A = this chain, B = another copy of it.
């Protein structure tokens, strides 16, 4: 098939295989196959608890070359992945593939495991921190597989990503493997990113620091999916798992962009009874949600649901009756965790239910509007949230490409520049989300509408929203940024394969060997991914 986005994709990639290039965001696939699975059934009377992670590795008969998986609900507070990998290293195992739903700065010890040959493969929807830098420098032999949140569920269910052992960090568990994220010191809310893993892995090990009497309720992941339970001292650092509260931006430019985004939604014709909405935890997104809240109250509109990672701001809208339900794959702050614990209509969902394009209908298909961020947007409205200006990996899709494809209206909010780097460019460095799924780009210097959306263009003009061409935004961005900084010279080596949600390859990331500095990761530099 042709490489319709012209990204120069090879026909095959060493360590990945043949490339099936992206062929359109809304292509209708044929029948979808889900993999057969093999498990060991429990024997009555045999306990599932094991004294240590080491004992679990033995019980699972983990071997060289195996693929193991982790969820990222404990985010930068996660202690489980590092613990498991250090036990694997101590056991002398090699050539392990780590398939996580996301990898954070806290997972920097993976760099050493890569150097020592313990880990030879990675897969994740987002990668931040020193590990991302190491991958960008080409330190991993095989390219990283970067999927979307929905794409990860899809490729686990299809069997393309076979998991030998899934390790599930569990803020609460009982001895027979019922798990939840609602209670415990490391409470994180829903465990949506672990669901496909426990359904399709050969073996499932729950690791908890809050072993409670049977049955642990509410049950998010049930005992029939869990082989072993290991109690440890701490699965995560609560300070780093969820922020206490997420905060609106106070930056005037950010506020202006946020207000414009809310006005665009108002003008779009979608803000009616039953409106559905998603945005992320970034300051501009939170501010946009607050502006939207005021409009909804003023117009007396009750929405149907807000989805995604859920923040306290969205919880407040829900509690105020502005949404009838929350569909939550991951809580972003303590307010969201508390709401999930408290409110029956604050529902958890699996990553597959959330965003997998290859099931019988995911939640993103029901979205009216989503507000997303960008590292770069190009003239074809393609968005990059995978690499930064220097070509270093600084994230990945997460739910970005999923929600953009699903929502009726996808807004990208971005300032024209980051420091002296233009963010509206001729061609994105890495293509994460195709322009055909992006409707509007909202900046401090005007709003560009995807030319495919002539209906929307008319509505925004009618509402006196300052619409300009994307080319004009690009020129403005270049002017603002000042002299062009030299881009890093990239190597030929492919360090990451960016899969679109349907498993086609939408782009590759090549090595950036000239970078020697290691950045300090801050959450603020990461664009909202949904």
Contacts and interface: CB of A to CB of B under 8 A. Distances in A.
B34 A225 contact: no
Interface stretch (A80-88, A292-300, A308-316, A362-370): A362-370
Given A305-B214, A360-B204, A353 B223 contact: yes
A304 interface: yes
Interface string A20-38: 0000001011011111111
The size bracket of the interface on A is: 35 or more
Interface string A41-72: 11111001000000000000000000000000
A215 B327 contact: yes
A36 B39 contact: no
A249 interface: no
A39 B347 contact: no
A365 B37 contact: no
Contacts of A217: 324-325, 344-345, 347
Main secondary structure of the interface of A (DSSP, over half): loop
A133 to B, nearest CB: 36
A45 B276 CA distance: 14
Which of A40, A305, A352 neighbours the largest number of chain B CB atoms within 10 Å of its CB? A40
Contact of A35 (B32, B36, B214): B36
A392 interface: no
Interface in A427-442: none
A41 B324 contact: no
Contact of A213 (B34, B42, B304, B356): B304
Interface string A335-347: 0000000001101
Nearest to A226: B360
Given A31-B40, A34-B37, A305 B215 contact: yes
24 contacts: A26-B44, A28-B41, A29-B41, A31-B40, A33-B37, A34-B38, A39-B359, A41-B360, A42-B361, A44-B365, A44-B405, A176-B366, A213-B274, A214-B305, A214-B366, A215-B327, A218-B344, A218-B345, A218-B347, A219-B347, A219-B349, A222-B350, A224-B353, A224-B362
Given A34-B37, A218-B345, A224-B352, 12 more contacts: A32-B39, A32-B40, A33-B36, A42-B361, A42-B362, A176-B361, A214-B304, A215-B325, A217-B347, A223-B353, A224-B353, A226-B361
